[in-house]
Amino acid sequence: MERTFLMVKPDGVQRGLIGEIVSRFEKKGFKLIAAKLMTVSRELAEAHYAEHREKPFFEELVGFITSGPVFAMIWEGENVISVARQMMGKTNPADAAPGTIRGDYGISVGMNIIHGSDSPESAEREIKLWFREQDQISYEKTIDRWIY
Ligand code: RTP
Ligand code: MG
């Protein structure tokens, strides 16, 4: 079963959106594998956003993600990587459809509430970067037979 890395960014935590965001993925039928509230070091932020190192917004991005606690999560389910991206909406909340997380709660591209892995390769890399193996919980949910 596929897994993805999702993170409520500092703006989402400050605005009290952790519960709302967790609730959306729970209700969809995905399974929570790991979660933690944490502050992000500059080192971790730079590693996480390494693909954007040369971009003009890199400093702003690292500054933002280290500016307050984030809520990091691993979620599991069929096609969870692409479906979670759809549930998040487009990167710029101005382009994100109503009904998506960024479409419903975001205004600016710099503070767009949530991060989600954009491919299987990113998901594997990010899960390893953010969580230890022993903090990822494998368990049965009996409701799964009503989902799959
Ligand atoms: P994320 O990685 O945070 O989940 O967002 P994403 O895949 O939708 O977008 P990505 O292209 O990976 O960009 C990472 C974050 O950089 C900020 N950004 N700012 N000022 C700008 O033009 C600009 N472009 C991107 C956004 O906060 C985006 O989430
Ligand atoms: Mg991205």
Atom of ligand 1 nearest to the CA of 118: 7
pLDDT of residue 27: 97
pTM over 0.90: yes
Query: Three-class SS string for 46-106?
Result: HHHCHHHCCCCCHHHHHHHHCCCCEEEEEEECCCHHHHHHHHHCCCCCCCCCECEHHHHHC
C-alpha of residue 56 to centroid of ligand 1, in Å: 12
Topology of the domain covering 2-139: Alpha-Beta Plaits (3.30.70)
Q: Which ligand is nearest to the CA of 56?
A: 1
Q: Domain map of the chain by residue range? A: 2-139
Atom of ligand 1 nearest to the CA of 9: 3
CB 15 within 8 A of CB 101: no
pLDDT of residue 120: 98
> Which residues, by Cβ under 5 Å, contact ligand 2, an ion?
118
pLDDT of residue 5: 98
Mutate to test the pocket of ligand 1, among 51, 53, 57 (most ligand atoms within 8 A of CB): 57
Binding site: residue ranges? 9, 57, 85, 91, 102, 112
Mutate to test the pocket of ligand 1, among 59, 61, 122 (most ligand atoms within 8 A of CB): 61
Compute mean pLDDT per 10 residues along the chain, 148 residues long, and list them. Answer: 98 98 98 98 98 97 98 98 98 98 97 98 98 97 93
Measured by CA distance, the residue closest to atom 3 of ligand 1 is 115
Dihedral sign (CA 43, 48, 51, 53): negative
